Structure 1
């Protein structure tokens, strides 16, 4: 297994540790782990492209690892009231719809690459989560207010990009519906 794929697997392995840390109230440590795991997403892709290490495993597992990491965090945050449940439903509905389309296309031996808007969505989500993690970390009221405002802004921006990228994906690939 090459280094980019090891980083992807490492991101998946980090998820249960992140979940336990968050559930135990160790938000600062969970924050650090989430940031480290998120950085492996950027790193594995750069290494794979630079050294021609792109694999089918990486093409499938890299975006899946991102989703496992981010949506695990969002699920936990719904439970704590930091993310509205309806927002997570919209985000997950988009993911399931796109995954279904990709499955149909894959059955025909084709692959639809992720678009830039989907990558922007993921980045916005990966910024929103650590900001939301910091909301519960003890700090001054003024700093916490700014972090909460930023967290909300990035959460809403990620929701808007989720809807936009999902719509864009469906419109660009509407031929899938006639397969």
Structure 2
């Protein structure tokens, strides 16, 4: 197994660890970080750091694979799967914690399923549906929103700015836009008419 695939597998392995820290209170953490009415339990902080670490490996594996001519079918399968599992796992966890509305998570996850299905249709035709700029922007905004939610809107909470909620709404909107853009640009695949 090459290095890019190992990085991708490591990202997948970090998901349950992150979820354990996010959702399970073992009772042995120090008192939460409390300052001026702000409260951040250490388990959420640790989960947030694990999420940032996992998300930061997203581009590294693909870059290394392309640069060193190490692109494999396993990597083509695992990389998008790892990305979707990471985002879905943390968003579902945040719903359970009451930090995000479930309908927003359904919209985000549904778009991922729909675009994955479109990519499968493209593969049957021997085509590739590459990530566009709106898809890349969607990923960045989702990551920013998730981190803000995981760390209780720090530091914006001190200024009375609901940045975490603004960011998750922005993520939902760009997710809808980028999903629609994928389907509009690739509607010929759905009709089976080729390019």
TM-score calculated relative to the size of structure 1? 0.88
Task: Indicate conservation of the 8 Å contact 1:134/1:147, yes or no.
Answer: no
Question: Is residue 123 of structure 1 aligned with residue 168 of structure 2?
Answer: no
Q: What is the root-mean-square deviation in Å for CA atoms of aligned residues?
A: 2.0
Residues 1-179 of structure 1 aligned to structure 2 (within 5 Å): 1-25=1-25, 26-135=43-152, 144-146=157-159, 149-179=162-192
Task: Indicate conservation of the 8 Å contact 2:156/2:163, yes or no.
Answer: no
Q: After alignment, is 116-125 or 42-51 more displaced?
A: 42-51
> Distance between the aligned counterparts of 1:53 and 1:153, measured in 2?
39
Query: Unpaired runs of 5+ in structure 2?
Result: 26-42
> Distance between the aligned counterparts of 1:37 and 1:104, measured in 2?
29
> Distance between the aligned counterparts of 2:159 and 2:145, measured in 1?
13
For 2:57, what is the secondary structure of its paired residue? helix
Task: Give the CA deviation at 1:94.
Answer: 1.2
| Greater per-residue helix proportion | 1
Task: Give the CA deviation at 1:97.
Answer: 1.4
Change (3 A) 1:2 1:152: same
> Distance between the aligned counterparts of 2:173 and 2:180, measured in 1?
11
Task: Indicate conservation of the 8 Å contact 2:15/2:86, yes or no.
Answer: yes
TM-score calculated relative to the size of structure 2? 0.82
* Aligned residue pairs, count: 175
Larger-Rg structure: 2
Change (3 A) 1:146 1:74: farther
